[in-house]
Structure 1
Amino acid sequence: MSSAGFLSTPEPDEAARRLFDEDVADVGYVMNASRLWAYQPATMTGLFDLLGETAHGLTFRQRAVIVSACASAHGDSYCSLAWGSRLAGATDAETAAGVLRGDDGGLTDAERALAAWVRKVVRDPNRTTESDVRALRDNGFTDREVFAVTAFTALRLAFSTVNDALGARPDAAFRTSAPAAVLDAVTFGRPLDDA
């Protein structure tokens, strides 16, 4: 398996090289997901632009809760490690590991409602109910925010699905960059890359 998952790494065009350069500037290496999305870098850029537009108004911590709950409910180890690490930075490693395991005890009431909603959207969107939405409203979320959270979750799920289906493995760098509690909580999905 190559670092682009089940596909060979494409010959990078100018857009893919920009994607790779951004990775090197941000994290110091080219991420496996970027190697995969080098097939359609404009699609990844467009998706992330749409995610940014959809998440407008959500705090970084809320986005970290959403993506961590979404990725772990979906069984996506890559985004769970990436965003679980970010959530650990916004809270602490044990809280982030708990969210990845489905234990939201370290979160605020509003964040717990958010994580519960996200997991329902990921696992079985046809089983959500008016009372599920009411739980969000009772914790201060407006209908506009409920829509934004739901759309953001669905878009993150699309990103994870492409990565997972095409075999993108979490970057080897997570062995040293992710908190130990987050690494221990991610017992699902594809294993860490060997490279």
Structure 2
Amino acid sequence: MSGFLQPPEMTSEVRRLFDDDLAECGYVMNLTRLWAHQPDTIAGLFDLLRQCVEAGGLDLRTRGILVTACASAMGDSYCSLAWGNKLAESADARVASGVLRGDDDGLTPRERALARWARKVARDPNGIGQTDVLALREAGYDDGQIFAVTVFVALRIAFSTVNDALGARPDAALRDTAPQSVREAVTFGRPIEDQPV
């Protein structure tokens, strides 16, 4: 089982998803097993995310900041651990664990503006006002980038929501690959699975 759902039927599309994970990670991620129920949906979602990455000029570190800030704000342990690990690799573990805890001291002013924005979009999008947008402009982002970043965060919220609602637990491998400070910062959401699926 992947979360609360039974395994999907093994089609060529599902096999391709699993093979991609095996090639990249060495195992099939729990979220892939879940999204394999609709391979075209995950492909479409990731295509939209890629468009936002390109339009926003988002490198790996910036994406790591956006995802960890957003995922931790909404209490999603899976993406917090996975992307906290990626952010630790592109920055360092102190920066990653700080962003997960809401401490942005290790970030540049531009990055701090993005982390604050991602948390606001995740927690209370209706509470956002013109002054919040102005803070992004003052940090050097134009309106096209602000739109791309906001769509990116919103799509990540949708992705995390599906994973969380359907019971996908963080992969057991994250227990070994994520730095200890990142694991300790993730005190919310579903626990890391005990054994690999």
> How high is the TM-score relative to the length of structure 2?
0.96
> How far off its partner does 1:55 sit?
1.3
Structure 2 Cα separation of the partners of residues 89 and 138 of structure 1 = 28
Q: Does 1:93 align with 2:96?
A: no
The 5-angstrom pairing of residues 73-88 of structure 1 reads 73-88=73-88
- Shift of residue 11 of structure 1? 2.1
Identify the residue that residue 54 of structure 1 maps to in structure 2.
52
Q: Deviations over 1:77-110 (max 9, x none)?
A: 0000010001111111011000001110100000
Aligned position for 2:149 = 149
Q: Which amino acid aligns with 2:127?
A: R
Matches within 5 A, 1:23-42: 23-42=21-40
TM-score by length of 1: 0.97
Query: Are residue 162 (structure 1) and residue 162 (structure 2) matched?
Result: yes
Q: What is the identity, as a one-letter code, of the residue corresponding to 1:78?
A: Y
- d(CA) in 2 for partners of 1:12, 1:153: 31
Match of 2:9 among 1, 8, 11: 11
Return the alpha-carbon distance in structure 2 between the equivalents of residues 30 and 7 of structure 1: 16
Q: Tell me the percent identity.
A: 63
**Distance in 2 of aligned mates of 1:51 and 1:22:** 18
Q: Distance in 1 between matches of 2:169 and 2:10?
A: 20
Structure 1 residue ranges (4+ consecutive) displaced by more than 3 angstroms after TM superposition: none
Q: CA deviation at 1:58?
A: 1.2
> Cα deviation per residue 1:27-80 (whole Å; 9 max; x = unaligned)?
000000001111001100110011001111211111110011111111000000
RMSD over equivalenced CA pairs, Å = 0.7
Distance 1:79 1:12 in 2: 25
CA distance in 2, matches of 1:74, 1:17: 31
Aligned residues: 193
